[in-house]
Amino acid sequence: MAAEQLADLAALLADRTRARFCLALLDGRAWTSTELARAARVSPSTASEHLTRLVAGGLLAEHRQGRHRYLRLAGPREAELVEHLLGYVGPAAPERTLRATTASAALARGRTCYDHLAGRLGVAITDAMTARGLLEPDALAVTDRGRAWLTGTLHADFSTTRRPLARACLDWTERRPHLAGAAGAHVCAHFRARGWLRGVGTGRAVALTPAGVGALDDLLGIPAP
């Protein structure tokens, strides 16, 4: 039974159009089927067929509002699966245009991975938290000191969450773990709420604002990566 389930899951992603949908949805937003079709450069009817398969397979969740069909990754676990798989496919082929090269460089510097931070920014924050004893270095678990820092300094409230507090998510550009889970999501949300992050381009790349650079130094004693 497990073998059949694994094969079914692999088959869901063994298509370039469906893979493009999942990559686009790593930004954590809900997209309409029309937007996803445009992003994958396929017809709406083709997109609809592939999206139906992804929803039925549990990778995507959908919400219908009026005439629109909104889709997003089913949850953090599915996002981390896609990010982990990216970490195993090897370095991407060199981009052929200046625009694509610039976009790839921005993603490598900093991006969202569903609801937490990834790229050099995400890994730098994870490393700094580990160096300060806020995270266990091996299991990437939140220490007692780390919980106090998250709840006190970053005003986190984990009393109602059912998510793991911390998870190691393999970063596909850095080839090292960054912080996911409820703690990683709160760090990202805290930075966003205070205007310490800005979007770069139209994708999921992010960068620190000047205020964010100062905050990162104040909070963790590190410069912007």
* 64: its two tokens: 């219908």
- How far apart (Å, rounded) are the C-alpha atoms in residues 31 and 39? 10
Domains with residue ranges and CATH for the chain: 2-74 (1.10.10.10), 79-220 (no CATH)
Q: Which of 11-20, 21-30, 179-188 has the lowest mean pLDDT?
A: 21-30
Q: What's the mean pLDDT in 107-124?
A: 92
With a cut of 70, say whether residue 93 has pLDDT above it: no
Say whether pLDDT at 44 is over 60. Answer: yes
Joined tokens for residue 138? 């091996």
Average pLDDT over residues 6-27: 89
Task: Tell whether the model's pLDDT for residue 201 goes beyond 80.
Answer: no
- Say what the pLDDT of residue 86 is: 79
pLDDT of residue 135: 96
Q: What is the pLDDT of residue 97?
A: 56
- The per-residue pLDDT for 202 is 66
Share of the chain above pLDDT 90, in %: 52
Burial 163-190 (b: 16+ CB within 10 A, else e): bebbbbbbbbbbeebbbbbbbbbbbbeb
* Arithmetic mean of pLDDT, 1-26: 88
Q: What local confidence, expressed as pLDDT, does residue 92 receive?
A: 55
Strands 68-73 and 60-65: antiparallel
Closest of 83, 84, 86, 58 to residue 72, by C-alpha: 58
pLDDT score for 106: 86
Please enumerate in sequence order all residues whose Cβ is within 8 A of that of 60, keeping only pairs 6 or more positions apart, or say none.
Answer: 21, 22, 25, 51, 54, 71, 72, 73, 74, 78
pTM of the model: 0.74
Alpha carbon distances (Å) from 112 to 67, 118, 176 = 29, 6, 15
Q: Tens digit of pLDDT for each residue in 178-198?
A: 999 999 999 999 999 999 999
**Model confidence band, residue 150 (pLDDT cutoffs 50, 70, 90):** very high
